[in-house]
Amino acid sequence: MKKALLLIPTFLVGFISFSFAQTSLNNVAGGQIHGNFEFDGQYYYPDSLIGADTIPEKALMNGWGNINYTNGNFSAGIRYETYLNHLNGFPDGYKGTGIPYKYATYNNDKLEITVGSSYEQFGSGLILRSYEERALGIDNAIEGMRVRYSPYKGIYTKGVWGKQRNFMSTGAGIVRGVDGEINMNELFDSCMANIKTQVIVGGSFVSKFQADQDPFLVLPQNVGAWSARTNIIRNKVNFSGEYAYKINDPSAANGFIYKPGQALFSSLTYSQKGLGIYLGLLRVDNFSFRSDRTASLTQLSINSIPALTKQHTYALAAYYPFASQPNGQISWQAEISKKLKKGSKLGGKYGTDISINYSAAYGLDTTNLNDMGGKRLGYTSKYLSIGDTLFYQDVNVEIFRKINSHLKGTLLYGHFIYNKNVLEGKSNYPYINADVVVLDVIWKLSDKLTLRSDAEHLLLGGKADNKEDHGNWASLLEELSIGDHFFVAAMDQYNYGNPIVDHRVHYFSVQGGFSKGTNRIVFGYGKQRQGIFCVGGVCRQVPASNGFTLTITSSF
Amino acid sequence: MKKSFLFFAIASLSIMGCDKIELPNQPHTVVIPTNDTIRRIFIEDFTGHICQNCPKAARKLDSLKAAYPERIIGMAVHIDYFAGPCPPNPMPAGSIAGTFSEDFRTPENADYESIYTCSNWSYPNGLINRIGLTPVAYDDWPTTAVTLLADSMTAYIKINPNYNSSSRTLNVSVTGEFLCDTTGTYNIALYLVENGLHGSQVDITASGGIDNNYTFNEVLRGCINSPGTISGQQISTPTNITGHTPINYTSPAFNVSANFNAANCKIIAILINNTDRGVLQAAECNLQ
C-alpha cells in the first residue's frame, strides 16, 4: 500500500512535466500537432460487505492519448491506448496496449477521403452509427475507408467500407454503407430562397458481410438495411422522422430468427423564447444490427437505437436508468420547458426555469409463431398496438431558480417505474416504483469560494415486495471550489433502507482536484456502489469498488 | 465525374449486399434431433490399477461429465506396466495377497503404443479428441475440453446397435452427416466399454493408499470394428465432402465375450479424420 502511494507523486511529477512541455509541439513541419491524454487509475481494497472483489493486481488503470496532426487539407492521427490491466468492470476485451485507432484524411475540392479508423453516423443512427463512448467501453470505429463528397450545392453523400473495431482488434464482419442527403433549399436556392420552410431529405443503405459456417442454419451472409428520413423546419417548428428496414438478420441477439426488422423514430420540437416543447416517438422491432451475429452486449453494433428518456445526471435520479431495447420497444417522450419571466410573481427577480418531462417504453404487441422448424420468423407484431409489458416510465419535474447573486438552485422530483426483468435480464422481479427528490444548491461564498450542496433521496414504493432490490437511499454531496484551480468534495450515499440490515452501508467518498490550463488532476478515495451506468440508452454494469482513484487529463 | 462514379460504384456494390433466406433450416440427409446438435468431446484416460494418481484423473473426468452433461465421452484405457496384474508385477506396498490380479489391458494397447508411444508417458494422462501425439495432463483436461466444446459441430453421428443377447453377437451401424465442406478420408471406430468393474486400485487419496473395492468404469474392452487396432474402418465418402454428405457405416459382426456383463456395456463411436487422426465427433449408447 505504501509503495502504491509513493508511486503516485512520482508519476504525477513526470506527467505534469511532460504536459507543460507540450506546447512547443504545436507547430511541426508547417502543420500543427494537437492531442489529449487521460489516465484513470484505481487502487482497490476488497470489501465483501459491498461486494467489492479482490483484485489480484491491486491497482488497475486505463490510459489513452490522442495525437493529431493537421496541415492544410491533410490530417492524420493516432490514439494510443493502454489497459494494464483495465479498470474493474470495464469490458474484458480491453487488454494490453496498442494503437487501435489511426487515420489519415485528405480533403480536396469537396471530396474528403479517410483511410484507417473513422466514426460516422447516417441520419439518426438507426442503421449506422460508429462512435466512441469511452465511459461505457464502446468504440465501434470503422477501420477501412470513408469518403464524403458534395457533388453539388445542397447534395451531401458519404460512404464507409471496413471492419468494426472490436476492443483491441476488429470484428469478423465487413460493413459497407452509403448515405445521401439533399437540402432542398440549398439545391433549389433560386426558387426556394424566399420560402420559410426548409426541407432536407436523406436516405442510407448499409450492408454487412459475415461468412456462414453454421451447420444447422442457412444464414444470410449479406444483410442489408436501408432508411429514409426527412427534416422539415418552419419558423419555430422542427420535425424530423426516419424509417428503417432490415432484411432477415438471424443473430444471437434475436435468437436466430429470420424476421425482417423495422424502426421508426420521429420527433417534433417547438421552440420560442422562454418555451420549448419536445415530442418524440420510437418504435423498434427486431433491430439489433451487428457486424458479428454472435456478438453481445455493447459489442460490434453497427447501429444505435436511441433511448427516448431523460438522461439524468444526478446520482440517485440515474439509479434506475433505461437501457434501449433493440429487439423490440415502443417508446415516447414529451417535454415542456418554460422560463417564467423575470420579475413576475412566479418567476422571481431572476426568472425561473421549469421543465416537465414524461417518457415511457413498452414492449411490442407480439404473437409467437412457433415456426423455428420452418421459416423461423419467430413472431408477428401489430404495428400500431402497444404491448402489455411496461419497460420503463419516468415522470419528472425540474425547477431551476436563481435566488440572488450568490445563490441558485435546482429542485428535481422524479417518479420511475422500472422493469428489472427486461432491463437487467432478471426474472420474477416485481416492478420497481421509485420516487427521487434532488435539491442542488450552488452558493457563492466569496469571490474565491463556491459551495455546491447536492442532497438527494430515493424512496422505493412497495418496498416490502422489493426484498431483492436495495431499498431506500439518501445522498449528500458537498463540493467546494477554491478559486479557479482547486476543488474538494465529499459525498455520502447511504443505503439506509436496504432489506438486509448489514448492507445498510455508507458509500463515503472524498475527492480533491487541481486544474490549470488544460491540465486536470483529481485524486479520490471512497466506496462506489454497484449499479447500472448508462449513456444514451446504452448501459453496462458497474461493480462495487473501494479504493483510491487518480484521474489525470491534459490536452495541447 | 470520376468522383461521382466512385460513389455510384460504392452504392451499387452495397445494394447488392442482401441475402434473403426463404428456408432457414439446413436440409439434412438424416434427422438430427434438436437436442443432439452439440459437439461431443472424446477423452481417453490412460490409467492402471497400480498408478497412485490415476483415481484423481478418473474423478476429474467424472466432474467434467457432470459439468457438461451429454457432452463429454470418456474411455478408460488400462495400459502399460501400471495396468499389469500382480504378480508378475510386484505387489504394491501394503496390498493383500490375491489382490491386484485383474487385467483390463486389451490387444488394442499395442496399437496405442505404436502410434503414441505411451510407454514413455507418465500416468495418469489423456488424449482429448486425439489432437496431436502428446497427451494432455489430467489437470488440463477441463481447459482443453472447454475450448474444444466452443467449436461448432462439424459432423453428426448416431449409433444404431443390434445386439443378440443369446448369441452375444453385436452388429452396429452408424448413420450421420457431415456438417461442413471438407476433403480427405474418414474412419469410424467403435469401442466396447464396460462399467462397474471392481478390483484393487492404488489410490494416493485412499486410507492406506489402496482401495480394494475400487469401481472401474468405462473400461475399454476392445475395438468392435477393427479388433486389435484403434483406428476402426474407413467409411465411404466422395472426394469432396459437402455439408450434407451422409454417413452410413455398418460394422462387421462382433462377438461380445461372455466375460463381459452386457448390461453394463456401452458402445462408443468416434469419427476420425485420417489426415491428422483427430476426432470430429463422438457418440455413445448402451449395448442393450
Q: Residue A136 has what DSSP assignment?
A: G
Confidence (pLDDT) at A4: 45
Cell numbers linked to A36: 489529449
What is the residue type of B216?
F
Cell numbers linked to B121: 508417458
Question: Residue A139: exposed, middle, or buried by beta-carbon count in 10 A (0-12, 13-18, 19+)?
Answer: buried
How remote is the C-alpha of A46 from its chain's centroid? 29
CB of B12 within 8 Å of a chain A CB? The answer is: no
Q: Name which of B180, B173, B148, B177 is nearest B72 in CA terms.
A: B148
Considering Cα of B144, then B147, then B150, then B156, what sign does the dihedral take? negative
Cross-chain residue pair B179–A216, CB shorter than 8 Å? yes
A27 Rama sector, left if φ>0, alpha if ψ -120 to 50, beta otherwise: beta
> What are the φ/ψ torsions at residue B3 (nearest 5 degrees)?
-70, -40
Question: Which one of A205, A216, A250 has the shortest CB-CB distance to B14?
Answer: A205
CB of B20 within 8 Å of a chain A CB? The answer is: yes
Over residues B125-142, mean pLDDT: 91
In A21-176, alpha helices (H)? none
**Cβ-proximal residues to A556 (8 Å cutoff; 6+ apart), any chain:** A19, A22, A23, A25, A26, A33, A34, A35, A36, A518
Confidence (pLDDT) at A19: 43
Confidence (pLDDT) at A44: 96
Confidence (pLDDT) at A372: 87
Confirm if A325 and A361 have CB atoms less than 8 A apart.
Answer: yes
Mutate to test the interface with B, among A207, A219, A226, A377 (most CBs of B within 10 A): A207
B287 CA to chain A: closest CA distance, Å?
A: 29
Among chain B residues, the shortest Cα distance to A111 is held by B3
B13 pLDDT exceeds 90? no
Cross-chain residue pair B19–A157, CB shorter than 8 Å? no
A536 CA to chain B: closest CA distance, Å?
A: 29
Using CA atoms, how far residue A388 sits from A52, A243, A312, A365, A385, in Å, is: 37, 24, 26, 7, 10
Counting Cα atoms < 13 Å in the Cβ hemisphere of A71 gives 10
Cross-chain residue pair B25–A218, CB shorter than 8 Å? yes
For chain A, give the longest Cα–Cα distance. Answer: 75
Cross-chain residue pair B10–A219, CB shorter than 8 Å? no
Long-range pairs of B67-73 with CB within 8 A, sequence gap ≥ 24 = B67/B142, B68/B41, B68/B145, B68/B146, B68/B149, B70/B38, B70/B40, B71/B38, B71/B39, B71/B40, B71/B41, B71/B149, B72/B40, B72/B41, B72/B43, B72/B145, B73/B40, B73/B41, B73/B42, B73/B43, B73/B268, B73/B282, B73/B283, B73/B284
Cross-chain residue pair B179–A218, CB shorter than 8 Å? no
* Residue that has been written with the C-alpha cell 457563492 in this structure: A444
Q: Could you tell me which residues of chain A have a Cβ less than 8 Å from any Cβ in chain B?
A: 111, 147, 149, 151, 157, 159, 161, 176-178, 205-209, 213-224, 247-248, 250, 258, 373-376
Cell numbers linked to A446: 466569496
Using CA atoms, how far residue A261 sits from A15, A227, A257, in Å, is: 50, 11, 10
Confidence (pLDDT) at B11: 57
**Cβ-proximal residues to A449 (8 Å cutoff; 6+ apart), any chain:** A480, A481, A482
Which chain B residues have a beta carbon less than 8 Å from that of A376? 24-25
| pLDDT digits 0-9 by tens, B66-115 | 988 889 999 999 998 899 998 888 898 888 888 999 999 999 999 999 99
A466 CA to chain B: closest CA distance, Å?
A: 33
Confidence (pLDDT) at A23: 45
Q: Name which of B85, B24, B191, B93 is nearest A248 in CA terms.
A: B24
CB of B9 within 8 Å of a chain A CB? The answer is: no
Confidence (pLDDT) at A360: 98
Q: Residue B14 has what DSSP assignment?
A: H
> Which domains are seen in chain B, by residue range?
41-286 (2.60.40.10)
A259 CA to chain B: closest CA distance, Å?
A: 10
Cross-chain residue pair B23–A157, CB shorter than 8 Å? no
| Helix and strand totals (H; E) in chain A | 4, 32
Confirm if A40 and A62 have CB atoms less than 8 A apart.
Answer: yes
DSSP, collapsed to helix, strand or coil, labels residue B66 as helix
Lowest mean pLDDT: which of A300-309, B34-43, B256-265, B274-283? B34-43
Angstrom distance (rounded) from CA B35 to CA B28: 15
Question: Which one of B7, B18, B153 has the shortest CB-CB distance to A157?
Answer: B7
Digit-by-digit pLDDT tens for chain A (556 residues) are 444 444 444 444 444 444 444 444 567 778 999 999 999 999 999 998 898 989 999 999 999 999 999 999 999 999 999 999 999 989 989 999 999 999 999 999 899 999 999 999 999 999 999 999 988 899 999 999 999 999 999 999 999 999 999 999 999 999 999 999 999 999 998 888 788 999 999 999 999 999 987 878 889 999 999 999 999 999 999 999 999 999 999 999 999 999 999 999 999 999 999 999 999 999 999 999 999 998 888 899 999 999 999 999 999 999 999 999 999 999 999 999 999 999 898 899 999 999 999 999 999 999 999 998 889 999 999 998 999 999 999 999 999 999 999 999 999 999 999 999 999 888 888 899 999 999 999 999 999 999 999 999 999 875 544 455 888 999 999 999 999 899 999 999 999 988 888 889 999 999 999 999 999 999 999 999 888 776 666 777 788 999 999 999 999 9
Which chain B residues have a beta carbon less than 8 Å from that of A208? 17
Question: Which one of B11, B14, B24 has the shortest CB-CB distance to A258?
Answer: B24
Q: Name which of A528, A521, A522 is nearest A495 in CA terms.
A: A528
Confidence (pLDDT) at B121: 86
| pLDDT digits 0-9 by tens, B218-271 | 999 999 999 999 999 999 999 889 888 999 999 999 999 999 999 999 999 999
Cross-chain residue pair B10–A159, CB shorter than 8 Å? yes
Task: Tell me what percent of chain A is helix, strand and coil, each rounded to the nearest 5.
Answer: 10, 60, 35
> What are the φ/ψ torsions at residue B178 (nearest 5 degrees)?
-70, 145
Cell numbers linked to A187: 439545391
